[in-house]
């Protein structure tokens, strides 16, 4: 008697290639991605008194603090741009990068319970973090644009056509944060001490990134050192495009783009390798 071959809607099987990404499977789970994004956006501020107002309060307070300490007390240069909007430009980008990197770095440990109970593409969780924080970034970026418009009307800054590159800059920033985060998250499943070091390391990394100072203020003989940081070109872009200070060209994006591709490539390899057995070590 002949047996008819059974047709299945989905098949769960082990991944044979470390770089394999099942985009069809990710698309099939898009409703879960939307659910997680909505959950992250709602639950973080649901039980707070001010709610989403914290999206505005945190960068404003940080900008004021930086303006007083680094601008007025330390008197760090701002390339002639108004101090308030200069620091806000750096803080807006840095908040998105650091928040994504910190959250993705802990994706295995913070989701161990759900990972151990139900199957879904594990990359859904890092993507959720990047997208949900993108919504927060959008709110803060809108506030930044209001300040840019105010200083533009006053004649203190001169934005230019490079602002059209903004989506590319954000995508590069998200990919770098996700790639590094995937590597760190895979390492923290085995080396628990990294959980303590990541937050501290990100704070130190901020001072190696032109968040509170322009890259032009670095002495010429040390420029090559800071230029090893792939984020430098992105922060230079932000201030050149929106404030009209510093220097920037399209070629300055070449290194960040190459770095983003390589780090995401490595991150996916490590993530795919660890996700098969991480429950044994978490």
Q: What is the pLDDT of residues 254-266, one digit of tens each?
A: 999 999 999 999 9
- HSE toward the beta carbon, residue 256, CA cutoff 13 A: 25
**Distance between CA atoms of 31 and 42, rounded to whole angstroms?**
16
CA-CA distances (angstroms) from residue 138 to 109, 111, 191, 209, 235?
28, 26, 34, 21, 17
Tokens (6 digits) for 159: 């934005």
3-class secondary-structure state, position 52 = helix
At 233 the pLDDT is: 93
Q: Give the residue from 229, 232, 233, 234 showing the smallest Cα distance to 263.
A: 229
CA-CA distances (angstroms) from residue 211 to 85, 110, 133, 173, 258?
12, 29, 19, 14, 22
Which residues lie below 8 Å from residue 217, measured CB to CB, with a gap of 6+? 76, 77
Rounded to two decimals, what is the model's pTM? 0.86
- Kindly write down the DSSP assignment for every residue of 172-217, as one continuous string: HHHHHHHHHHHHHHHHHTT-TTHHHHHHHHHHHHHHTTTTSS-GGG
At 178 the pLDDT is: 94
DSSP conformation class of 277: T
If residue 262 lies in a helix (H) or strand (E), which one and from where to where?
helix 254-274
At 175 the pLDDT is: 96
The full set of domain ranges for the chain reads 51-280
3-class secondary-structure state, position 2 = coil
Instruction: Please provide the average confidence, as pLDDT, over all residues in the chain.
Output: 85
**Distance between CA atoms of 38 and 52, rounded to whole angstroms?**
13
Tokens (6 digits) for 97: 């990068």
pLDDT in tens, 121-169: 888 999 999 998 998 899 899 999 999 999 999 999 999 999 999 999 9
Please give the chain's pLDDT, 282 residues, in tens: 445 556 666 665 655 555 566 677 887 888 888 888 888 777 766 665 556 677 778 888 999 999 999 999 999 999 999 999 999 999 999 999 999 999 999 888 777 778 777 777 888 999 999 998 998 899 899 999 999 999 999 999 999 999 999 999 999 999 999 999 999 988 887 777 787 788 889 999 999 999 999 998 999 898 888 999 999 999 999 999 999 998 888 788 999 999 999 999 999 988 888 876 655 555
- HSE toward the beta carbon, residue 22, CA cutoff 13 A: 19
DSSP conformation class of 71: I
Asked whether 146 and 139 are in contact (CB, 8 A), the reply is no
Longest dimension (CA), the chain: 88
């Amino acid at each position: 008697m002949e047996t008819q071959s059974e047709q299945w809607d989905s098949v769960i099987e082990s991944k044979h290639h470390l770089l394999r990404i099942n985009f069809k499977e990710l698309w099939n789970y898009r409703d879960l991605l939307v659910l997680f994004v909505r959950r992250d956006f709602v639950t973080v501020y649901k039980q707070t008194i001010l709610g989403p107002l914290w999206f505005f309060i945190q960068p404003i307070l940080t900008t004021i603090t930086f303006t007083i300490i680094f601008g007025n007390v330390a008197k760090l240069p701002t390339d002639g741009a108004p101090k308030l909007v200069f620091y806000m430009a750096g803080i807006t980008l840095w908040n998105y990068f650091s928040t994504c990197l910190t959250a993705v770095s802990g994706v295995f440990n913070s989701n161990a319970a759900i990972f151990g109970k139900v199957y879904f593409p594990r990359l859904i969780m890092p993507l959720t973090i990047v997208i949900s924080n993108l919504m927060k970034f959008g709110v803060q970026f809108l506030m930044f644009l209001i300040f840019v418009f105010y200083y533009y009307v006053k004649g203190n800054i001169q934005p230019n056509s490079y602002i059209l590159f903004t989506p590319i800059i954000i995508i590069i920033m998200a990919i770098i944060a996700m790639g590094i985060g995937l590597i760190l998250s895979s390492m923290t499943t085995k080396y628990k001490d990294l959980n303590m070091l990541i937050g501290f390391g990100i704070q130190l990394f901020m001072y190696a990134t032109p968040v509170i100072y322009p890259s032009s203020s670095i002495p010429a003989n040390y420029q090559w050192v800071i230029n090893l940081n792939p984020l430098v070109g992105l922060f230079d872009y932000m201030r050149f495009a929106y404030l009209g200070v510093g220097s920037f060209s399209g070629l300055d994006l070449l290194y960040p783009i190459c770095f983003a591709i390589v780090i995401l490539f490595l991150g996916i390899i490590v993530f795919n390798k660890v996700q098969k057995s991480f429950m044994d070590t978490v």
